[in-house]
Amino acid sequence: MDSSQEETPSDAPEPQLPPEARGEANGGPLGCCLGVMVGLLLSLVIVVISRLYADPLAGILSGNLSLIVRVLLIILALSGSVLCGYLGWKLGRRFYREYDSTPTHVEKQRARK
């Protein structure tokens, strides 16, 4: 099959596209990506706090600080990335309703007219 005969997502009929690609373009995926990154960065707060307060926390937690920090880090990373990703998706859809047109997209619109 030629590369000229391959169907690109913009040429594909709308029912064949995945649900997030149907309809108008929006900033949901971008917001989700940024939200996940924020959630993962916020999970590093556990590591910083455990390093700053290592001696008092080790005394309270009977020397199991390393294991508890790892478990808390995993829990906070997963929950933070999911929650911030969802919030980022919603905010991205609201504030970035449509992407700027690419030069190729503008040329196709002109050719249709």
pLDDT level of residue 105 (50, 70, 90 thresholds):
low
Nearest one of 103, 100, 98, 93 to 35, comparing CA atoms: 93
Structure tokens at 14: 């709308």
Nearest CA among 84, 74, 88, 87 for reference residue 44: 74
Q: Which two structure tokens, joined as six digits, stand for 56?
A: 């008092």
pTM of the model as a whole: 0.59
pLDDT mean over 90-103: 73
Is 97 within 8 Å of 42 (Cβ atoms)?
no
Q: pLDDT tens digits, residue range 62-95?
A: 767 788 888 888 999 999 999 999 999 888 888 8
Contact in structure between 80 and 42 (CB atoms under 8 Å)? yes
Phi-psi region of 62 (alpha: psi -120 to 50; beta: other; left: phi over 0): left
Torsion region of 18: left, alpha or beta (phi above 0 gives left; psi -120 to 50 gives alpha): beta
